[in-house]
Every structure is written in structure tokens, then in C-alpha cells.
Amino acid sequence: MQKGIIGKKIGMTQIFDEQGKVIPVTVVEAGPCVVVQKKTVENDGYDAVQLGFGEIRAKNVNKPLAGHFKKADVALKRTLKEFRLDDCSALNVKDIVKADIFAVGDIVDVSGTSKGKGYAGTIKRFNNARLKETHGTGPVHRHAGSMGACSSPSRIYKGKCMPGHLGAEKVTVQNLEIVKVDAENNLIAIKGAIPGPKNGTVTIVNAVKKA
């Protein structure tokens, strides 16, 4: 059965398995999440549940969003995410989803927003090579160089490696294993690294096996 939850990345640490081997893990505070809205085929054209996670002050919520929470009769939440589950009938508005929906050994996909690195050149952004530093190159050895656009095609093709904003984009890491679940504290330890900075919001869903 498909499962999903919203969490907050706490940080990385390491744990030991039964053989004494070190396992690097990322600890995620997963939930508790509340079901804020339930979408159905009759009303919306598809089945899904919307989960809310994280506390937020009322002054930071605009009126339309506050009305959305008031209609569901749930507390204000900082993050809203929608999950298209195989079977949404088991969940209803105001239900609580906790970390114990996952178990040790589950394979999950984790999505988050990567760290923003600001404006970057082509060497840092795309791992381009630098120009030679002699024979007339001048003080531009880290520049992108000629774009090659003369009279034809008189433009730069879409997708050209150019300087620009680096990071701060959605990243999904697939097929990660859950090695520990602390249901009492709503903590999940996931083997390896996941995207996003410390205290960043992440989405955890169980990996769908391809046929």
C-alpha cells in the first residue's frame, strides 16, 4: 500500500547494525501530520489527501488559507502537501498520520529543496573546463567563452550551459532504506543522505516498484 508523510530534516548521524557495522543515516522528524483535505474523483477528478505539517502563527497565514484550515476544523499548518495514494478511503479529514506508518526495511523516495548557492558560473554550475591562462586568453579564464552564434542561428539554443542561479530546486533521491523508526518521538532514520538543508522540509513516500 502506498504511504506518504511530510517531515523536517534534523541532520546526519551514524548508527550501528547487529554486526557492528557503521551506517550513515539522515534523521527526519516525520509528522505528526493532519489530513486537511480529501479529494475525490466525483469532486476533483482524482483521489488524493492533503496533509499539513509544522506549526505557524496566525498572523503569518493569509485569509484564504486560514479559511481552508477553518473549513477542515484543524490547526494552522506551515506546509501543505498532496499525496495521490492507491487507497484514500482509510484516511479522513482531521486524521493524524505519524511516523509509525513506515517500518524498518521500507524503501522510500525522499524529495526536498536543495541548498541555494546563489549566482554561479559555468565551471561551478556545470563542471565546465576553464580556458587556458596563456597565449592571449587574458583575464577571462573562468568565463564561458564564445557562444558560437553568428549569422546562423543568430541565437543561443535552449539548454546552453550558461551562468545563473545554482541550487534551491526540487531534488528527489530514490530507493533509500529506512533503518530505524522511533514512533514515540516521530523520528525516522534513513540510510544515506537526502536533499535539503538542516531543518528543511522533505516529503517521504514509499518507492513504487517498476513492473
Are the C-beta atoms of 168 and 195 separated by less than 8 Å? Answer: no
**Lookup: cell for 210:** 517498476
User: What residue has cell string 484543524?
Assistant: 74
pLDDT for res 138: 78
Give me the count of residues in the chain.
211
In words, the CATH class of domain 4-117+171-206 is mainly beta
State the average pLDDT over residues 66-91: 89
User: Cα separation of 208 and 211, whole Å?
Assistant: 9
pLDDT for res 86: 80
* Residue 211: pLDDT over 50: no
pLDDT for res 193: 92
Domain-by-domain residue ranges, the chain? Answer: 4-117+171-206, 118-167
User: Cα separation of 17 and 179, whole Å?
Assistant: 9
pLDDT for res 139: 84
Element (DSSP H or E) covering residue 189: strand 187-191
State the average pLDDT over residues 156-179: 91
Are the C-beta atoms of 35 and 94 separated by less than 8 Å? Answer: yes
* Predicted TM-score (pTM) above 0.85: no
User: What residue has cell string 484516511?
Assistant: 91
Question: 143 exposed, middle or buried (CB, 10 Å; 0-12, 13-18, 19+)?
Answer: middle
User: What residue has cell string 542561428?
Assistant: 153
**Lookup: cell for 8:** 523536517
User: Cα separation of 74 and 71, whole Å?
Assistant: 8
* 70 φψ region: left (φ > 0), alpha (ψ -120 to 50), beta (else): alpha
